[in-house]
Amino acid sequence: MDEFETVAVEACEAAGDYLVAEFERAETTAEYGPRDVKAEADRGAEDRALDVIAGAFPDHAVYAEERGERPGDAAYRWVLDPLDGTNNFCSGIPYFGTAVALLHEGDPVLGVVHDPLHDDTYVARRGEGATHDGTPASARSDVELDRGTVAFVVGLDAIEDDDLRARSEELEHSLAGQCKRVWESWAPALDWGLLARGDVEAVVAFHPDAIEQHAGWLLAEESDASTASQGELYVAAGDDATLAGLRDALF
């Protein structure tokens, strides 16, 4: 696991260094769709992260957001989101990052989230806890739900489906009645990092994109967040009382 973690962090940092340099350029090359955007930086960051992972573990399977599946050892499979928060990146909003998860026989055992602009790195190892920049991380919060911030994540599948989008709007309305602020960042991997260090009181994810969810949910579990799920609705909170309040409102 030490070697896996070292490689995952190096992959995220390689992607992150490239992203910071590209973000500081005057113009960003991207293709804009009606509900999504693909930046040239996605592929550039992915290439750099893949070079690190493939160089260390050439026999492992890898799924990368841009290049898709690369077959390999069935026991180990890396899942890579090279640029989480592409819309923010292209809009000049300084909130984006890179997420890497390692699955063993389909089960996430390692998750790394890197925020390159703020030099924050979150690591979760199955059964071993979570860290923020090498220091043990805890999602526990003393802020009560009605004074707290809840990050709300809606996956692309829900955005593109009329019924699911309507349901997501109902969920958002319910959340707004429970907490002080509903935070929609469009960079869910970083939201999970904020939860893992106790800076938001909860994360609610509806039909989340699996590529970020692997690392994010492991971060929540290993930072001692209180968690619950129902179908494609996931809730992680800093304490049991907050989780109970959110369950009552959402489930």
Residues 151 and 205: their CA atoms lie apart, in Å, by 8
Looking at domain 2-136, its CATH class is alpha beta
CATH of 145-250, one of 3.30.70.20, 3.30.479.30, 3.40.190.80, 3.40.50.2300: 3.40.190.80
What's the first-to-final CA gap in the chain, in angstroms?
36
Q: In the chain, pLDDT over 90 holds for what percent of residues?
A: 85
Domain ranges of the chain: 2-136, 145-250
Residue 64, both tokens: 């990368």
Tell me the CA distances in angstroms from 181 to 48, 73, 148, one per residue in order: 36, 44, 7
Task: Confirm if 171 and 152 have CB atoms less than 8 A apart.
Answer: yes
With 60 as the cut, is the pLDDT of residue 35 above it? no
pLDDT in tens, 134-150: 999 999 998 999 999 99
With 80 as the cut, is the pLDDT of residue 74 above it? no
Give the largest CA-CA distance in the chain: 50
Residues 243 and 207: their CA atoms lie apart, in Å, by 19
Residues in Cβ contact with 242 at an 8 Å cutoff, skipping those fewer than 6 apart: 141, 144, 145, 148, 201, 202, 226
Task: Confirm if 238 and 141 have CB atoms less than 8 A apart.
Answer: yes
Residues 73 and 52: their CA atoms lie apart, in Å, by 17
pLDDT in tens, 83-132: 999 999 988 999 999 999 999 999 999 999 999 999 999 999 999 999 99
Residues 40 and 43: their CA atoms lie apart, in Å, by 6
